[in-house]
């Protein structure tokens, strides 16, 4: 699909990452005031597709999973993609007998579903749901290749998120960061701080990215949550921190994070933020 998605998630196919996909959908539903019953259907079908990638795409090994969310005023489309063993071995009677309500469930819950080979190998499951968004989103910003989050050292433990428009990031990012903060064993008050950082990034990133979009990578390392926002234009990383300034309180992002670093990559900058639970 040529169109840019409203949300793109790059994750590994670890089973714990399915929760990130589900929370993304919950945040999306909240943002557009989706009917609860539509959310349940979408979340159930997408969970099945994601679990399929977790269980079968890489035959027990770890590999990438990509999830995209596209919307129109009366449809929601979710694409779940992997670069694993391909679709054919997966729809086999043995699976169906064992775990097997996945595919019938997806087929029963979607308006339409298309299974295809993705990028030469792997599988793409494209599900379309008829679901009215009570508060439709602004169209997503067109993407250029240079707006993708930069390649990361360790794709297995890093997730990359791109959300557009930024109003959607406001609903999606706090949930995603909450899950990751929980994984880093943060206490509830530090999780709330992570949500405040997410709010602040969603509010100020469009200005710093020069587009109505927020893209970042996130990683949990022990008890540390690391975020890397960008790519940003030259000089924009510092500005993003300063933009979070509230008169009398200081820059909120600076106050809530333990470490901030600006990394220059070519002509772009990345703002790296670290949160640790101090307790």
Partner 1 sequence: MTPPVSAVPKHAPHNGHHDEQELFARWHEHGDREAREALVARFMPLARSLARRYDRSSEPFDDLLQVASLGLLKALDRFDPELGHSFPSFAVPTILGEMRRYFRDSGWSVHVPRGAQERALRVRDAQERLANERGRAPTVNQLAEYLEFDIEEIIDALQAIQAYEALSLDAPRPGADEDVMAYGDSMGRDDERFELVELDATITAVLERIPPRERLILRMRFVEDLTQTEIAARVGISQMQVSRLLRRSLDQLRALTDEGRDGPRRRKGGLSD
Interface with partner 1 (CB under 8 A)? 19, 22-23, 26-27, 30, 37, 40-41, 43-44, 47, 93, 101, 104-105, 107-109, 174-175, 178-179, 182, 185-193, 195-196, 199-200, 203, 242-243, 245-250, 252, 255, 278-279
Inter-residue contact 35 to 42 (CB < 8 Å): no
Question: Which of 118/169 has CB closer to partner 1?
Answer: 169
Question: Which of 55/196 has CB closer to partner 1?
Answer: 196
Q: How far is CA 267 from the centre of its chain?
A: 25
Inter-residue contact 255 to 195 (CB < 8 Å): no
Question: Which of 235/250 has CB closer to partner 1?
Answer: 250
Inter-residue contact 46 to 126 (CB < 8 Å): no
Question: Which of 30/128 has CB closer to partner 1?
Answer: 30
Question: Which of 37/145 has CB closer to partner 1?
Answer: 37
Residues 6 or more apart whose Cβ sits within 8 Å of residue 228: 149, 150, 152, 216, 217, 218, 219, 263, 270, 271, 272, 273
Residue 168 CB, nearest approach to partner 1 (Å): 15
Residue 224 CB, nearest approach to partner 1 (Å): 15
Cα distances (angstroms) measured from residue 40 to each of 35, 47, 60, 133: 9, 10, 28, 14
Inter-residue contact 65 to 125 (CB < 8 Å): no
């Amino acid at each position: 699909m040529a169109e840019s998605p409203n949300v793109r998630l790059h994750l590994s196919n670890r089973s714990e990452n399915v929760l990130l996909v589900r929370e993304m959908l919950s945040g999306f539903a909240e943002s557009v005031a989706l009917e609860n019953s539509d959310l349940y259907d979408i979340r159930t079908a997408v969970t099945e597709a994601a679990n399929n990638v977790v269980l079968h795409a890489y035959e027990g090994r770890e590999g990438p999973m990509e999830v995209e969310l596209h919307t129109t005023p009366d449809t929601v489309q979710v694409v779940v993609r992997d670069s694993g063993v391909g679709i054919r071995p997966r729809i086999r009677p043995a699976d169906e007998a064992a775990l097997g309500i996945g595919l019938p469930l997806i087929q029963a819950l979607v308006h339409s579903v298309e299974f295809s080979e993705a990028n030469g190998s792997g599988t793409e499951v494209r599900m379309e749901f008829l679901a009215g968004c009570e508060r439709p989103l602004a169209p997503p910003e067109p993407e250029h290749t240079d707006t993708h989050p930069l390649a990361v050292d360790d794709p297995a433990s890093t997730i990359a998120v791109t959300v557009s428009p930024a109003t959607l990031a406001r609903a999606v990012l706090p949930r995603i960061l909450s899950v990751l903060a929980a994984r880093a064993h943060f206490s509830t008050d530090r999780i709330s701080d992570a949500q405040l950082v997410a709010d602040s990034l969603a509010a100020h990133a469009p200005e710093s990215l020069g587009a109505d979009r927020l893209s970042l990578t996130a990683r949990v390392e022990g008890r540390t949550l690391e975020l890397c926002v960008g790519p940003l234009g030259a000089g924009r990383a510092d500005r993003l921190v300063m933009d979070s300034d509230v008169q009398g309180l200081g820059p909120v992002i600076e106050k809530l994070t333990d470490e901030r670093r600006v990394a220059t990559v070519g002509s772009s900058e990345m703002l790296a933020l670290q949160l640790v639970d101090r307790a």
